[in-house]
Structures are given as structure tokens and as C-alpha cells.
Amino acid sequence: MVQIEQDILGKNDAIAQENRLKFAMNKQLVVNLVSSPGSGKTTLLTETCRRLAADKVVVIEGDQETANDADRIRETGVRAIQVNTGKGCHLDAAMIASACERLELDGGDLIFIENVGNLVCPAGFDLGERHKIAILSVTEGEDKPLKYPDMFAASSLMLVNKVDLLPHLKFDVQLCIDNARKVNPDIEVICVSATTGEGVPEWIDWLQSQRK
Ligand SMILES: Nc1nc2c(ncn2[C@@H]2O[C@H](COP(=O)(O)OP(=O)(O)O)[C@@H](O)[C@H]2O)c(=O)[nH]1
Ligand SMILES: [Mg+2]
């Protein structure tokens, strides 16, 4: 088991490194959104695409089945490609390489990857992205960074989503942030609501600062 795991991860890391070099050469910013299912990745992405419509934005959508999320992105006018992983629980670097080829990008792009929803497997797979971004919604509980530390340790930024629901819930935002910083003292945090737009300008500013 250990040998197989090492072989798979070794092969993935080599392709991820090729992706990373290509992204750098083509001046592309690539961010990989990771979270459990339903935390609001696609909703936040559609809102983000609407606000960045004038930019060169594309989205690579990962789900086990269906093209629903790519369809939701395309409704905003942004190009999207759907990757179905079947039995797989995460995207890998080869899937991203092939999706980028199909997108025929010409450089300077902002590439969003929406990974398959789960807080475990996507943490272990480097796609060649600049940043992993963990989305945690306030309905999931403050303890998730402690229960699934790898995901939060691998992420540069945590977006705490659905803050519009806070008045209806017992969710301690500061405790959640403290828990995330226990596993990753450097993680940045932005509180957002993908549906009301609260915090979304700060998220867009964060993206723009990464593009410079
Ligand atoms: N109240 C509220 N609901 C949200 C927010 N973001 C997403 N949702 C809802 O959460 C559900 C799952 O969202 P979706 O974007 O499909 O999550 P994904 O599985 O992470 O892509 C949908 O019913 C969304 O309307 C938010 O900020 N506030
Ligand atoms: Mg989705």
C-alpha cells in the first residue's frame, strides 16, 4: 500500500511541477478551491466570474458526475470545462494539464479550479496551482480545521462562507479562525457571503493582489 501510494503521488507531483512551470511561463494565476460538498464553491465562483467578467477568467470544474457546475459558470459568460472523476475523489495534475490544453489558453489567464467536494483527498494532490483555498461554510461547525487538518495546512486562504446565516446558528467565527491557525498559523481568512455579496470585494482584492 505504501509503495503504491508513493508511486501515484510521485507521478502526480512530477506532472504538477510541469504544470507549475507552464503556468509561470504563461503568466497564469491558478487557484484551487477545496471544500466539502455544498460549502458554496460554485455559488462563490459564479459571483466572482460576474465581477471579473472583463478579465481573462476560465474555470475547470471537478465533480464525480454531471456537468451542472460548468453549466452554472457558463451562464455568467465565462468559459468552463467539466472534468468528471467517476469513482475518483479528487482532481489530479494530469487532469488539469489535459483541461488546460483543451481550453487553448493564450496566457495571462486567471484559472479557477473547483475541486471535487471533500475535505480529505484533494489536500494530498498538488495540481501545480499557486494556492489552495479552503472554503468552510458556517453550517459545517468550527471544528472542521481540527478534524481535517491537512486541507487547512495546505491552504493559503480560508474563506468562511454563508456568513449571512450567522444570526440563525451557533457558530463562533473567531473559534473557527483560531482552529484553522492552530494547524496553519499563516492561513489568511476572509469572511464572505456568496449570496449577499458581503466580503466578496475583499476576496476579489485578494485575487488581484496575487495577480500582480
Ligand atoms: N445562505 C447562503 N447559502 C449559500 C451561500 N453560498 C452557497 N449557498 C447555498 O449552498 C448550496 C450549495 O452551494 P454550491 O455553490 O452548489 O456548493 P458547492 O458544492 O461547494 O459548489 C446552494 O443551495 C447555495 O445556494 C451563502 O453565502 N449563503
Ligand atoms: Mg460545486
pLDDT of residue 4: 72
> Domains of the chain, with CATH numbers?
2-211 (3.40.50.300)
Residue 67: how many CB atoms within 10 A of its CB? 15
Query: For residue 38, how far is its CA from the centre of ligand 1 (angstroms)?
Result: 6
Say which residue the cell 499563516 belongs to: 186
Spans of the chain below 50 pLDDT: none
Q: Give the closest residue to 10 by CA, choosing from 100, 92, 88.
A: 92
What is the C-alpha to C-alpha distance for residues 102 and 21, in angstroms, rounded to an integer?
A: 18
pTM of the model as a whole: 0.96
Residues in the chain: 212
Q: What local confidence, expressed as pLDDT, does residue 9 receive?
A: 82
* 143-181: pLDDT as tens digits: 999 999 999 999 999 999 999 999 999 999 999 999 999
Distance 53 CA to ligand 1 centre (A): 21
Give the binding-site residues of ligand 1, using a 6 Å CB cut-off.
35, 37-43, 117, 161-162, 164-165, 193-195
Nearest-10 crossing angle of helices 2-25, 93-103: 30
pLDDT computed for residue 18 by the predictor = 97
